[in-house]
Amino acid sequence: MFGSKRDKTGASGRGTDEALRLVKVSKSYGEGESAVRALDGVSLSLGRGTFTAVMGPSGSGKTTLLQCAAGLERPDSGIVMVAGEEMGKGSEAELTKFRRRRIGFVFQQYNLLPTLTVAQNTVLPLKLAGRRIDKAKARSVLEQVGLAGRLKHRPDELSGGQRQRVAIARALVTEPAVVFADEPTGALDIRSARDVLHLLQEAVRVHGRTVVMVTHDPVAASYADSVVFLADGRIAGHMERPTVDAVAERLAHLGDDINGSDYAAQLGV
Ligand SMILES: Nc1ncnc2c1ncn2[C@@H]1O[C@H](COP(=O)(O)OP(=O)(O)OP(=O)(O)O)[C@@H](O)[C@H]1O
């Protein structure tokens, strides 16, 4: 999987082919007897231009994994690398800068600013990062998500599905190394959910972005190229080319055979 010249993270030096790498990432909440180990030595490697679903039972650490990988939380230990660059060593301000440059987010509840128009919400990450507001770029991203006719609307004038499409446009406008989506279809009806999943797929297949999506839904996961399963804060399995039935079956038996260590061994970590 990797070349022979490895650095301390185990990466081959071909950092640009790898969008995201986690090496033995751990994170606990609380202290003493009430401490919860939300992530327990998680390692994974995701190539550029891939669509990965993260699944597992409630409390298995999916959101914590996403937040640590996206620089919203600092892990207690371990290494997170985004497009070959190690994250989280500097100050909070440096971490924020890193996130704005490298990461896009899509949340279940859209997180749009209600007083801003669709166009203004979409370019907000560019503004926050002090980058030039490229109106043509914003329009083309909104066209990509089918909302070019709604530039001046405000979020409360849009359906849930349309709001999530604005959130996707906002996540894509900075051309981030990785887009993280936490239950992006959780609040949507079946049809809007399918539209959102198609857009995420298109962002990967047509535009070469890398998407990591937490979901409870085997149908949503089947849109991804692969699924990483978590149980008790550890990698509990991995599936390429997931189908709805195969994912549902694996979820039902998660924990029967924890083979995360095999996956870590494949990565050489
Ligand atoms: N801020 C926090 N403070 C204390 N405990 C937390 C915090 N965030 C998460 N946890 C705990 O860490 C564990 C993992 O939580 P996490 O939210 O990552 O799981 P999840 O798989 O995303 O769950 P769900 O599917 O229910 O959203 C859980 O036991 C949870 O209670």
What is the per-residue pLDDT for 13?
42
58 lines ligand 1 (CB under 6 A): yes
Whether the CA torsion 201, 213, 101, 20 is positive or negative: it is negative
Q: What is the pTM of this model?
A: 0.89
What is the per-residue pLDDT for 12?
44
Ligand 1 mutation pick, 28, 31, 37, 64, max ligand atoms within 8 A of CB:
64
Q: Which residues make Cβ contacts (< 8 Å) with residue 204, sequence separation at least 6?
A: 49, 50, 51, 210, 211, 225
Tokens of 174: 């900075």
4 lines ligand 1 (CB under 6 A): no
| For ligand 1, atom 12: residue with the closest CA | 38
What separation in Å is there between the alpha carbon of 16 and the centre of ligand 1?
A: 31
What is the per-residue pLDDT for 14?
43
What is the per-residue pLDDT for 253?
87
21 close to 79: Cβ distance less than 8 angstroms? yes
Report, as ranges of residue numbers, the positions in the chain whose pLDDT lies below 70: 1-16, 255-269
What is the per-residue pLDDT for 268?
57
Domains annotated on the chain, with CATH: 49-74+88-258 (3.40.50.300)
Say how far residue 193 (Cα) sits from the centre of its chain: 17
Instruction: Return the biggest CA–CA distance within the chain.
Output: 55
What is the per-residue pLDDT for 262?
55
What is the per-residue pLDDT for 120?
93
At 108-155, the pLDDT tens digits run 989 999 999 999 999 999 988 888 888 888 889 999 999 989 999 999
What is the per-residue pLDDT for 263?
56
Q: Are strands 18-29 and 36-47 parallel, antiparallel or unpaired?
A: antiparallel
What separation in Å is there between the alpha carbon of 101 and the centre of ligand 1?
A: 27
234 lines ligand 1 (CB under 6 A): no
63 lines ligand 1 (CB under 6 A): yes
